[in-house]
Amino acid sequence: LVEDLAALHLDTHARVLSASLVRPPPEARSVDRVAVEVFRIARLRYLDGEPLVLHEAFLPAALGVRVSKLDLEHAAISQLLEQELGIEIVEEGQQIEAVVADSELAHLLDVAIGSPVLLIRRMLRLPRDSTMVLFKSFYRADRYFYTLNLAPAAPACAPEAVKKNRRARH
């Protein structure tokens, strides 16, 4: 993710598109279940001078105001929460799906309307008061791929056993 790009010392920076209070979309209502508004930060991140990803962060209002005053051009919001604000983060989950670029997203990412885009949703929990933060990142599928390293299979699922099971199912 963005943290990986920074760790690899790649030429990346973000342009803040907006940072303001908004009515939460349905999927962001868990950020603050009682508030009428949440703080939304939208940024367009570039890699080697070309658009790579549109990031949207939905935070509780007071926290969002604090985060919006930090350096949003060069750091990931999760890093800013931990390093600049001293807030511990517990990652609750991540979901990846393929979507198509609508006209606004296509324009921002410089792709054709209908192009494939990888949508990565991350929901973080801040353990002090169970506050939630939602990140939505729309990555250009032609410039980004996701790699996941998995642990080796347990002995009960050794390759020979898997081969036998596969044959039995066909």
**Residue of 2 and 31 predicted with greater confidence:** 31
The pLDDT of residue 2 is 55
**Residue type at position 81:** L
Q: Provide the sign of the torsion angle of the four alpha carbons 49, 55, 61, 64, taken in this order.
A: negative
Please give the Cα distance from 119 to 125 (Å, whole number).
20
Q: Residues 44-62: what's their mean pLDDT? A: 93
User: At 71, phi and psi to the nearest 5?
Assistant: -75, 90
pLDDT level of residue 53 (50, 70, 90 thresholds):
very high
Distance of CA 94 to the CA centre of its chain: 8
Q: Which pair of tokens denotes residue 134?
A: 């939602």
The pLDDT of residue 162 is 40
Q: Is the pLDDT of residue 6 over 60?
A: no
**Residue 144 vs residues 34, 53, 113: alpha-carbon distances, Å:** 36, 9, 18
pLDDT tens digits, one per residue of 100-159: 999 999 999 999 999 999 999 999 988 766 678 999 999 999 987 777 788 876 555 444
Q: Is the pLDDT of residue 43 over 50?
A: yes
Contacts of 82 (CB under 8 A, 6+ apart): 88, 89
Please give the Cα distance from 87 to 80 (Å, whole number).
9
pLDDT tens digits, one per residue of 77-108: 988 999 999 988 887 788 999 999 999 999 99
pLDDT level of residue 165 (50, 70, 90 thresholds):
very low
Strand order in the sheet with 131-140: 12-22, 38-47, 50-59, 131-140, 116-126, 90-100
